[in-house]
Copies of this chain bind each other. A is one copy, B any other.
Amino acid sequence: MKNAKLADIRPVLLVNRQKSNMRGGESLVLENIELEKAQDIILDHARVMPAGSLPLLQALGRIVAEDIAAEHDMPPCAQAAMDGYAVAEGGDGVYKVIERLRPGEISAVSLSANQAVGVVTGGPLPGGVVAVLPEEAVELKGDFITYRKSIEPGSNIKPPGENFLKGDLLVRKGTCLSAGIASVLASYGIDEVIVYRKPRVAILSLGADIVSHREIPMTGQMRDSNGVLLAGLVMQEQGEVIDVRVAGVDNITQIGELFEKLLERADILITIGGAAYGVCDQAFPLIEQSGADILFWGIQIKPGSHSGAAAIGEKLVISLPGSPLACAVSFNLLAVPVLRAMQGLAPHQVRLSAICTNAFGKKGGPRRFVLANAACAHAGWNVKILPGQKSSMTRAFLSDWNAIIDLPAGHPPVEKGDAVSVILLKPAYF
């Protein structure tokens, strides 16, 4: 991975260029920029979703939008830590059981020496208690118990606040509500949590040769698989998919109407395909005619170079290429950080160094991203490049990739055993 040449990379251009006749007019467009610059620009336009209250069980897995602190000590008062007998100080080893508390019962007595009260785990203690003797540690005869060992004051007593003290932070804003945290909130009687709304995402596949996967394509046409791919990936990132559409053979006016209608309901509209500069490429003119502010068009990566983004009001349009592999890569690189940021999470994905367990023959060209499976091995992270990664191929999709390898521009072929830079998209097993 040494001696990477910066070949085949066009410089960042901020051009006042004569646009093709399809686009009409002139304007300033930031073209063919670096990935990190594209990510920064798009994140600058990603607003955090409004927050709202949800019942606890419905809020599981969502990102909490408030700090929640303990309202009181937990337990609120001293409790028995075991089933057994509460005894007072100064007994001689034999105690008369004056009361037996059952779950939910409280005692009105205060213990004197040589008196005991039967208590249950988690139950409140009578006054004057010095320790709880475990049920199995005492000898019981009629109404008397015998315990001959010395008693350590406080043993088997949970002091108030042992679990949480008043004011302890139970959940911090920006945390995913886990089952464990939810159960702690439940113990405080909290049944509503304020969480960020899921970003609403509409998906629109462009291209006169594309039909819905529910239709039968004619020769020269193909079914849209990218819409399903992105819908699944959006859901995986906790976005709400509000519609998956194919524009197909509609004319630009009809597509424009569909575009507007989808954008009205969505926080993010993702278009797929037609993102290059060919005369048939509809994404740029479509976005331009909508009045959106084009943030950038084209990034210096492969696959996925034909990606762009635009902002219109508080909404984002992300334009991804139609080749399935390019679509997957640029979704992971551009849309995922945005989806995370909009839910109040840190946008950045985990980056780590891993040892490649197989070889990859391609070399040179722009900065390249390769779908892979990362796993933890004896010597740290390994990563395996998935086979079949030509940009139109979907064979790699049959393995559920959890990582993307980031190879610098002009890289040599990857040898087995090379250390590579990896973006970890999902956690890994082994």
Contacts and interface: CB of A to CB of B under 8 A. Distances in A.
Contacts of A223: 186-189
A186 B225 contact: yes
A176 B400 contact: yes
A388 B183 CA distance: 15
Given A122-B392, A352-B430, A392-B122, A181 B397 contact: yes
Given A184-B394, A376-B428, A378-B379, A124 B228 contact: no
Interface stretch (A85-93, A205-213, A263-271, A293-301): A205-213
A213 to B, nearest CB: 4
A398 B207 contact: no
A335 to B, nearest CB: 13
Contacts of A60: 231-232, 235
With most chain B CB atoms within 10 A of its CB, the pick from A182, A390, A398, A401 is A398
Contacts of A81: 390, 392
A213 B184 contact: no
B376 A376 contact: yes
Interface string A210-238: 10011110111111111111111101100
Nearest to A183: B229
A219 B430 contact: no
Interface residues of A, number: 103
B229 A180 contact: yes
Contact of A57 (B75, B210, B231): B231
A110 interface: no
Given A180-B328, A380-B378, A427-B426, A220 B187 contact: no
A344 interface: no
Interface stretch (A41-49, A146-154, A157-165, A409-417): A157-165
B83 A180 contact: no
A283 interface: no
A120 interface: yes
With most chain B CB atoms within 10 A of its CB, the pick from A210, A227, A229, A323 is A229
A352 to B, nearest CB: 6
A421 interface: no
A287 interface: no
A104 interface: yes
A170 B398 contact: yes
Nearest to A179: B232
Nearest to A428: B427
A122 B235 CA distance: 28
Interface of A: 56-57, 60-61, 75, 77, 79, 81, 83, 101-106, 120-124, 158, 162-164, 170-171, 176, 178-191, 207-210, 213-216, 218-233, 235-236, 241, 244, 249, 276, 278, 280, 322-324, 328, 350, 352, 376-381, 388, 390, 392-401, 424, 426-430
Q: Which 9 A-B pairs give the minimum distances between C-beta atoms? A: A179-B232, A180-B397, A376-B376, A183-B229, A186-B213, A104-B209, A427-B427, A103-B209, A187-B225
Given A56-B228, A182-B229, A379-B379, 16 more contacts: A81-B390, A101-B220, A102-B208, A104-B220, A104-B221, A122-B222, A123-B209, A123-B220, A179-B233, A180-B232, A180-B397, A183-B232, A184-B225, A186-B224, A189-B213, A350-B430
